[in-house]
Amino acid sequence: MTRSSPSSSPGLTGELLGVYRTLPSTVLGWVMVTGAALLATLTLWDVSQGRDEGLIYPAALIVGIAAVAWVLFLRPHVRLHSDGVHIANIVTDSVVPFAAVEEITHQWALELHDTQGRKHSAWAIPVKRERVRRGQTDDFAETTTRRRGSAGRTAQGVADAAQRALQRWRLGGGQLDGGQLDGGQLDGGQLDGGRLGGTHHQVQAEKRPAWAAIIVLGVSLLLIVLAVLG
């Protein structure tokens, strides 16, 4: 998890509280990308020495593997803001403002349920599986040590962080930057269903294709196929 102040998620203007992805995917992704970079360097060295015969297909394979590693392991992440959550999956992006959040769960992964009845799951944050059935003592121990170790990189840990941010947002009156209100009850006036002073404003979660990732994945798969067939 990393922390930063500026926001870089479309549709979310609040402070960036953290960026989450699992440690194994980060390590595996960088190992694959680094390995591909080293192989590419050796290939360029061979080309510079005049030994370029038959290197086009290995080079295509190297580039394809590096691109697939980025799409599958390094791109998926969750960005937690003070006013919502941005979920970057393999080929889709979901922006879920807290004004549109109905519930946060972690049955299979980090899951945000919006007010339209849709569920937004995070590929990058799977649930932590237990091999041994847990007891009440184990649950109490995890509750008291939740912020230690790698809990923040699991669906349970990120769901807790998102829930705390959601509660802070609601206790703050559901006020976004610029004074726009999206939920909650304020002193001297009530905001019901996004209606304040007769003006209706409904915030919805947005899910859209990640075209950059789709193009990179398509080109990388094409390069790998050409390298194998060549």
Does some domain include residue 5?
A: no
pLDDT tens per residue across span 115-125: 999 999 999 99
Contact criterion met (CB below 8 Å) for 2 and 19: yes
The three-class DSSP label of residue 34 is helix
Is 8 a residue whose pLDDT tops 90?
no
pLDDT tens per residue across span 174-198: 754 444 444 444 344 444 444 434 4
Which span out of 4-13, 133-142, 191-200 was modeled with the highest average pLDDT? Answer: 4-13
For position 97, what pLDDT does the model report? 95
Does some domain include residue 190?
A: no
Total structural domains in the chain? 1
Does some domain include residue 7?
A: no
State which residues form the domain around 155.
16-175+202-229
Does some domain include residue 194?
A: no
Does some domain include residue 162?
A: yes
Extended beta strands in 72-219, E state: 77-81, 84-88, 92-97, 101-105, 109-114, 119-126, 185-186, 189-190, 195-196, 199-200, 206-209
Does some domain include residue 207?
A: yes
More reliable by pLDDT, 51 or 101: 101
Alpha-carbon gap, residue 18 to 62, rounded angstroms: 32
More reliable by pLDDT, 104 or 4: 104
Contact criterion met (CB below 8 Å) for 116 and 99: no
For position 121, what pLDDT does the model report? 95
pLDDT tens per residue across span 19-29: 999 888 999 99
Does some domain include residue 208?
A: yes
